[in-house]
Amino acid sequence: MLLASCAEHTAPAGAAPQWSTDSTTVRMAAGPQYARSAAWQFFFGTHYRSIWATPVTVPVLRLATAVPGGLVPMQAGGSYQSHTLRLHAPDGREYVLRSVDKDMSAALSPGWKRNLLRGLLKDQTSATQPFGAYPAARLAEAAGVLHANPRLVFVGPDTGLGKFKAAYANALYLFEERPDGDQRLVASFGHSPRVVNSAHMLAALRRRPGAHVPARAFLRARLLDLLVGDWSRREDQWRWATFPQAGRVAFRPVPRDRDQAFFLFDDGLVTRLVSWFAPKYQTFRATIGLENVDGLTTTARALDRTLLTSLNANDFREVADSVRASLSDAVLVRAFNAGPPDTRARLAARFVPMLRARREQLPAVAQQYYALLNKQAWLIGTDQAERFILSEAGGSLRVQLLARRPGRPDSLVVERTFNRKITPRLDLYGLGGDDVFELRGSLPQGIAVHFYDGAGRNQVITTPGATPGDVTWYTGPGERLTSRPAGVQIETDPHPELTANGRAWLHRYNLSD
């Protein structure tokens, strides 16, 4: 009965836009269809239904005059829930329209499950805050995180839509710069000469040691995710602003699609049960439970382990303190001065006090986050030749990753010290190239070290009298070893399709875009 009721529910009368006399604005609710009975809300949540049902005044976007020379629709798209349309300007810049209304059922594969649950999952769009992208962008600006600049607009039956008119007319959208390509004119993208997707960035990191992501910049972005409760940060939710240097290139993170910021899910009987079994669906509240950090960060776990390994506990503490200091009370208030005037005061009264409380928890949350990531730490090489040196340092394990340079001294890429009380397992990946894993002296007990040598002619060597500790060397199928160091366990790599080289490594990530 409940599923059928949801599937058959339609928008109430009055959902059509009310045009101003000069046709420059419309007044309409973002999602009046989410208004439901008290009984329905008891089972499936109150969520943000009242905000979705509040009429707001929105400017009308006309493609012919939106930017000098107008905009031309190029490509329809959208991943998982969003309905998007790419737009091209005469100066070569691109913009995107992203639907305010979503469809969570789009995450399901076509079939009987989607047919059965579609209405229910569509209803759960009401768990998202329809105007959350506005304060998220303001907070990113204050925290020093690159970002887009969304504007809420209405697109009517615009003739400029052409063949896209039937699917895209008469709806509310977030209109913003598309983070791709040459963005030297956009300050919020760092004036980057080229913004790329995650597949490009990750492939570049594995090609050569000179490509890198400033780990502190990525951590700032991830702490902002935790602050606003945005749990949906899989790889395709990021873009990367490139900054070429002599022989190197830095990729700074640009988080996008803040659809799940301020998520409110567990206020219904059924949705609370779902959140117990799917911990990533974390509800935004004043307290960030340390036990919830795992669920809040799980969708970006592979990306986190890839990009944050170089940071130690003190780094996490310093970045958290810096982010907290950048988000003053005045900043939090100003963040909610954006968005539809009809809802600003209401949203500010609700969210600013909660953000103040969450801000003060960032240092403790950052330490929990650090401990979580370092339970199984990764250190990843490239398809070039590298040397991994392991040694004891005050009872902890010191690991140095160096680029091998024939005829010249090896060049240090990263150095980290791992405490056995925090890191019970460390995985080192050589990928392509002729790599050397060197064990010096007596390594501390309590850390299980796993070498995955990948392709190339690789070797594990020990200094005379070395005690390797708990070290396992994973070799490729049929690999002929040049040495069998004493005390090192040797196993066949169970998943060489993921560890052979940089291209194989990319299969670890969700790169659907």
The tens digit of pLDDT for each residue in 185-207 reads: 999 999 999 999 999 999 999 99
Kindly state the percentage of the chain with pLDDT values over 90.
81
- State the pairing for strand pair 376-380/386-393: unpaired
How many residues does the structure list for the chain?
513
Who has greater pLDDT, 246 or 321?
321
Euclidean distance between CA atoms 67 and 90, whole angstroms: 9
Phi, psi of 183 (to 5 degrees): -125, 35
Average the pLDDT over 504-512 and give the result: 92
Q: Is the pLDDT of residue 79 over 70?
A: no
- In whole angstroms, give the CA distance from residue 27 to residue 157: 16
349-387 per-residue burial string, b: 16 or more CB within 10 A, e: under 16: eebbebbeebbebbbebbbbbbbbbbeebbbbbbbbbbb
Summarize the confidence of residues 278-299 as an average pLDDT. Answer: 93
Q: Which of 108-112, 214-218, 231-235 has the lowest mean pLDDT?
A: 108-112
pLDDT at 7 over 70: no
pLDDT attached to residue 121: 83
- Classify each residue of 214-226 as buried b or exposed e, where b means 16 or more C-beta atoms within 10 Å of its C-beta: ebbbbbbbbbbbb
Whether residue 12 is predicted with pLDDT greater than 60 in this model: the reply is: no
pLDDT grade for 112, boundaries at 50, 70 and 90: low
Q: Residue 77 in 3-state DSSP?
A: strand
Question: pLDDT over 70 for what percent of the chain?
Answer: 93
Residue 248 neighbours by CB distance under 10 Å: 12
What's the average model confidence in pLDDT over 308-313?
Answer: 96
Q: What is the pLDDT of residue 15?
A: 64
Tell me the average pLDDT across 65-88. 87
* pLDDT at residue 268 greater than cutoff 80: yes
Instruction: Kindly tell me if the per-residue pLDDT of 317 is higher than 60.
Output: yes
d(CA 6, CA 3): 5
Residues 6+ apart with CB under 8 A from 52: 29, 30, 31, 32, 34, 35, 126, 130
- The stretch 362-383 carries a mean pLDDT of 97
- Give the residue, 29 or 3, on which the prediction is more confident: 29
437 within 8 A of 458, measured Cβ to Cβ: yes
Average pLDDT, the chain: 91
Cβ within 8 Å of residue 497, ≥6 positions away: 504, 507
Average pLDDT over residues 237-242: 96
CA distance 209 to 26: 53
Q: Mutual orientation of helices 133-143 and 215-228 as an angle, nearest 10°?
A: 140
pLDDT (mean) for 467-478: 88
pTM for this predicted structure: 0.93
Span 204-231, mean pLDDT? 96
Please tell me the distance from the alpha carbon of residue 415 to that of residue 458, in angstroms, as a whole number. Answer: 21
Q: What's residue 103's pLDDT?
A: 77
d(CA 83, CA 80): 9
pLDDT band at 9 (very low <50, low <70, confident <90, very high): very low
Look at phi and psi of residue 293 and say left if phi exceeds 0, alpha if psi is from -120 to 50, else beta.
Answer: alpha
CB crowding 398-433: b at 16 or more within 10 Å, else e = bbbbbbbeeeeebeebbebbbbbebbeebbbbbbbb
Q: What is the C-alpha separation between 124 and 127, in angstroms, rounded?
A: 5
Across the range 439-464, mean pLDDT stands at 92
Residue 3 confidence (pLDDT) = 43
Confidence grade of residue 463 (pLDDT, cut at 50, 70, 90): confident
CB atoms within 10 A of CB 66: 19
pLDDT digits (tens, 9 = 90+) for 326-364: 999 999 999 999 889 999 999 999 999 999 999 999 999
Beta-strand ranges (E) seen in 8-93 are 18-19, 25-29, 55-59, 72-77, 84-88
